[in-house]
Amino acid sequence: MVIIFENLSADQADTYRLVLSSYGISYRSKKGKHGWSISVNDTEYEKALNTIEQYLKENQDFHSTDEPLCHEYHKTFTGLWVSAILLAFHVAITIGNDSEVFVRTYGSSAFHILHGELYRSVTSLMIHASVVHLAGNMLGIAIFGTAVCTITGWGVGWFMILATGVLGNLMNAVLYKTGHLSIGASTAVFGAVGILVAHQFFKKFRLPGQRMRAWLPLGAGLALLSILGSGEHTDLMAHLFGFMAGLILGAFYGVLVKQPAAKTYQVCFLLIPIIVLVISWMRGFGYG
Q: Are 82 and 125 in contact (CB under 8 A)?
A: no
- Over residues 210-260, the pLDDT tens digits come to 667 777 777 878 787 777 766 655 788 999 999 999 999 999 998 888 777
Contacts of 170 by beta carbon, 8 Å cutoff, 6+ apart = 113, 118, 121
Contacts of 60 by beta carbon, 8 Å cutoff, 6+ apart = 208
Phi, psi of 148, rounded to the nearest 5 degrees: -60, -45
Residue 118 neighbours by CB distance under 10 Å: 16
The model's pTM: 0.73
Higher pLDDT, 63 or 269: 269
CA 171 to chain centre: 21
- Over residues 53-108, the pLDDT tens digits come to 888 877 765 444 444 444 445 568 899 999 999 999 999 888 877 788 889 999 99
- Over residues 130-185, the pLDDT tens digits come to 899 999 999 999 999 999 998 899 999 999 999 999 999 999 999 999 889 999 99
Q: In what order do the strands lie in the sheet with 27-32?
A: 2-8, 35-40, 27-32
Query: 61 — alpha (psi -120 to 50), left (phi > 0) or beta?
Result: alpha
- Over residues 4-22, the pLDDT tens digits come to 888 888 888 888 888 888 8
Helix/strand number for the chain, H first, E second: 13, 5
Q: How confident is the model at residue 24 (pLDDT cuts 50, 70, 90)?
A: confident
> What are the chain's domains?
2-58 (3.30.70.1530), 78-284 (1.20.1540.10)
The letter for the amino acid at 220 is A
